Amino acid sequence: MNGKFISIEGIEGAGKSTQLAFIERYLKENGKQLVVTREPGGTELGEQIRTLLLTPTKTSMAVDTELLLMFAARSEHVAQVIKPALENGNWVLSDRFTDATFAYQGGGRGIDRQRIADIADWTLHGLQPDLTLLFDVPVEVGQQRVLSRNQGVDRFEQEKVEFFQRIRDCYLQRAQQEPERIKIIDASQSIAQIEAQLTLILKPLL
């Protein structure tokens, strides 16, 4: 694989979408052929699964069902989008990847991390991002940002504070375990400060 694979992660309201646009612009300005995608989603089938996962319902979804749907969408995403792009020498920028599953389904839902790792090994065959940018904010700040959008909340966004605290804790733990790959961005800074930090991190990868 000749291209580079970058993922961005964070709890709800961490500002990923805002900074994704900056990262996309920065990489393209530096001559990179870039595929921008997201999870769950990224393919026709993946987007259908995304709707199933994010749409609030009156009945709860079993945690194992949620986990398997996430990996079903991801398996399709890797096969149809990510691997072909990398093999063609393109760069890939994905809004979330497997770290999100460890954080949301592992940390948030309490699924055993080894079970998640086993499914990841089976479906992804060792594929992981070259760089993961973790946008970190206190849970209360993230929730305030979500509410300020004046939009309806999805199935995850309607969860309680404790759920997102477990997710944040898991993300930070993973960053501590893999400091070379996962870089923490203080997303409570100003946009200009965040962009300056991102530039410092991305420049050596070019």
User: Exposed, middle or buried by CB within 10 Å (0-12, 13-18, 19+), for 16?
Assistant: buried
Residue 181 is part of which domain span? Answer: 5-205
CATH code of the domain containing 88 = 3.40.50.300
Return the pLDDT at 157.
84
Residue % of the chain over a pLDDT of 90: 83
Mean pLDDT of 59-81: 96
Burial state string for 85-114 with b = 16 or more CB within 10 A and e = fewer than 16: bbeeebbbbbbbbbbbbbbbbbbbbebeee
Write down the pTM of the prediction: 0.94
Return the pLDDT at 49.
97
Mean pLDDT of 74-91: 97
Q: How many domains does the chain have?
A: 1
What confidence tens digit (pLDDT) does each residue in 14-57 have?
889 889 999 999 999 999 999 999 999 999 999 999 999 999 98
Q: 140 near 161, Cβ under 8 Å?
A: yes
What confidence tens digit (pLDDT) does each residue in 149-187 have?
767 778 898 888 999 999 999 999 999 999 999 999 999
Return the pLDDT at 15.
85
